[in-house]
A and B are shown apart, each in its own frame.
Chain A
Amino acid sequence: MKKRIIALLLAATMLVSLTACGTKKDAEKDTTEGTTTEETTGEDTTAEDTTEKVDFSVGMVTDTGGVNDQSFNQSAWEGLQNLQKNTGADISYLESTQETDYAPNLDKQVDEGKNLIWGIGFAMADAIITAAETNPDVNFAIIDNAYETTPANVTGVMFRAQEPSFVVGYIAGLTSKTGKVGFVGGMKGNIIDQFEYGYRAGVDYAAKELGKEITVDVQYAESFSDSAKGKAIATKMFSSDCDIVFHAAGGVGVGVIEAAKEAGKFAIGVDRDQAYLAPENVLTSALKLVNVAVELVSTEALNGTQIGGQTYNYGLAEDAVGIPEENPNMDPAIYDKAMEVEQLIKDGTIVPPYNADTYGK
């Protein structure tokens, strides 16, 4: 009897949590509706309106963050949606909830006859290689990964994330009143190093310009999704005099921004314009426009360009990274200065560092 009751209770909680998950995601969708439109249902009509439907289909497989991760999965999906709008290509996504889903999901996309399949995130690097080996006639592309030897049907897409990081570091340096800024990373590695050292260098550049010392407090959350941890770290940073914290930590960053909101200080978003999360407290964002890259690469493939066997490297010059145009919390003078710095990077006058070795040179 008691057992049964417990079982029922648990069943009920499970149910609630399942639905809770659902509603949470829905809510997230609502909040993002301003910036994105999920047009999967109306795909045919929009496609017909603008362009003729082409016989090209692109699929993507998310990592375990899911398609509404407010980060690169979502951005990649937006890129595909844009692709559809502009070219009429057929698009779809499959969500992974467990790591073991990667291979089956990629396989399923192959079965659906996709011409190009995107794997979003370097966690899928191995799965992409295996899928590419077994399906030599299908093209695969992966965000944030460069292989040492890239198979002929695989395309790697990398970003020079140090460039926007440098810019936001510069902005942070100019904006900071306390002379202390923070950085919250997900997990130490080549990718996040680009953000960290680009940011550090940008702050240094500003410090030199202002002729004062600005310290950067760097911490890692050892996670890309534990937003509570992000919040804890950022709250601590804010309470120890940092007034601006930049994060490069995926879902962890949501917590960082929350902390900024509660502390009434500034956070700098990453990957996409995260101002919608806290309009008053997001200073700017270091954009890594996965959507732009996804669309660019997909369009090339659609046009028949051989994209396989290489790694694309996108930066400011390709407009695949940058900062948002609208920054209501930023001093317009600083924005103008930042634009100047951006131009210097584009010119090659400034070469932001991307790891510990290149930093300080």
Chain B
Amino acid sequence: MEKIVNLLKKQITSTIIAILCGFIVVAILLTLTGYSPFEAFGILFNGIFSKPKYISQVIIKATPIILTGISVAFAFKVGLFNIGAEGQYIMGTIAATVAGILFDFPPVLQIPVVVLSGVCAGGIYGAIVGFLKAKYGIHEVITSIMLNWIAFYLGNFVVNTQRFHQPDSTGTYIINESGFTMFLYGWKRSEEGKAFLMEHPVLLDVILKTDVNFGIVFAIIVAVAVAILLKKTTKGYELRSVGFNKDAAEFAGIDVKKNILHAMLIAGAVAGLAGALTITGMSPHKISTMGTFENYGFNGMSVALIAGSSPIGCIFAGLLFAGLLYGGGSLQSAIGAPSEIINIMIGTIVFFVALTKIVPVLADKLVKRGEKHAR
């Protein structure tokens, strides 16, 4: 037990060191370009923590990337690289939007229908990758990249269909309000709700001015569920054994192909959930034609990497990531530093996290070499 704790500590320490390195690199960069790093970081933290509303915004922004992060992390535990989280996310948004526009049930039914369509779409999309890998041995990275683009253009296609396209806009119609998952959505827009909120400025800030929604609850539930699935269940044992050593798993009678399919199905479903929750929980509640990927899935890869592929860790990594993105936005308006600086910081953190993972690998290799040649 002590050893496990130590190991855990190690992982977290190295991640924190990586984050600090990110800050240091950015501080140097800011200094070189003539901005005060202290001022910049002050703004960054103010932009995240100075108001409950900001924290709430960060949480809202974090929700989808926590989920895509879990999607990537989960697949990684099964030895698969889910670069397709982006496409699965997009499929989730498409399906949720379509369902949200087509149906108009009461919220109790509408929300599950809309969210589940997104989950199913993402899941099926992930399963395609799993199927191609299991059946024909095509590498998941290749199929995922292709499918990302297919999802991308499918989204643009759906936006431009007669049934869904909102005239004079770049997007579809907004989904029916019965599918919204914002916290107290109806009430906060009603007259008495507004009146009440006007008297309580903090609540006004947090509830009315943001898209506070139930997404984060889903994200935490999913993180815990995935962690339990992996660690505590028989299925998780199978999945992990396939992830660690599929040859041994196969030899021990575990159906490797089936597990690859299941893993991608689950990973896709989680990414699809991220997409669906973005549609139901955040404005603009619709999809628009995209010129480039919105990077929810790719950011998920960074999140998973920072989290060391731990589903629970993804919650924190996602919050960090969202915090940097959200707080970093203020840098430009406050001191005029280009907002790219935040991308550089995130990139540096990811880089150093990856670097801290090289060290044990190197050590491992050294020991192994030692063993081999000592014979």
Contact = CB atoms under 8 A, between A and B. Distances in A.
Contacts of B339: 95
B61 interface: yes
Contacts of B79: 3
Interface string B252-271: 00000000000000000000
Which of A94, A105, A134, A191 counts the most B-chain CB atoms under 10 A from its CB? A134
Interface in A155-171: none
Contact of B210 (A21, A59, A107, A123): A107
A81 B294 CA distance: 29
Given A14-B298, A14-B301, A222-B289, A19 B278 contact: no
A224 interface: yes
Which of B156, B168, B208, B357 counts the most A-chain CB atoms under 10 A from its CB? B168
Nearest to B170: A123
B61 A104 contact: yes
Contact of B343 (A22, A98, A112, A225): A22
A97 B291 contact: no
B76 A3 contact: yes
Given A18-B347, A222-B289, A93 B168 contact: no
B137 interface: no
Contacts of A126: 174, 283-284
B329 interface: yes
Given A95-B332, A187-B170, A100 B291 contact: no
Contacts of B168: 122, 189-191
Contact of A7 (B34, B305, B346): B305
Nearest to B329: A94
Given A104-B57, A122-B169, A222-B160, A41 B332 contact: no
Please tell me the size bucket of the interface on B: 35 or more
Given A22-B340, A92-B332, A187-B160, A107 B354 contact: no
B347 A19 contact: yes
Given A10-B301, A103-B211, A251-B291, A19 B344 contact: yes
Interface of B: 34, 47, 51, 53, 57, 60-61, 76, 79, 81, 83, 141, 156, 160, 167-171, 174, 208-211, 278, 282-284, 288-292, 294-296, 298, 301-302, 305, 326, 329-330, 332-334, 336, 338-340, 343-344, 346-348, 350-351, 353-354, 357-358, 361
Interface in A2-49: 3-4, 6-8, 10-12, 14-15, 18-19, 21-22, 25, 40-41, 43
Nearest to B60: A104
Interface string A86-120: 00000011110111111111011111100000000
Nearest to B326: A104
Contact of A1 (B208, B288, B350, B361): B361
Interface string A223-242: 11110000000000000000
B354 A100 contact: no
A257 to B, nearest CB: 17
Contacts of A18: 343-344, 346-347
B278 to A, nearest CB: 6
Looking at chain A's contact residues, the main secondary structure is helix
B329 to A, nearest CB: 5
A187 B166 CA distance: 12
A223 B171 CA distance: 11
B336 A41 contact: yes
Interface in A182-223: 187, 189-191, 222-223
Contact of B291 (A105, A111, A125, A224): A224
Given A92-B332, A100-B283, A123-B170, A3 B340 contact: no
A127 B283 CA distance: 7
16 contacts: A8-B354, A10-B81, A11-B305, A59-B333, A92-B333, A92-B336, A94-B330, A99-B171, A103-B211, A103-B284, A105-B329, A107-B57, A135-B209, A187-B289, A190-B167, A224-B289
A25 B301 CA distance: 23
A50 interface: no
A99 B333 contact: no
Contacts of A179: none
Contacts of A40: 332, 336
A4 B364 CA distance: 12
Given A19-B344, A111-B53, 16 more contacts: A4-B357, A11-B354, A12-B351, A14-B350, A65-B291, A94-B329, A98-B296, A102-B283, A104-B57, A104-B210, A122-B169, A126-B283, A126-B284, A191-B168, A224-B291, A226-B291
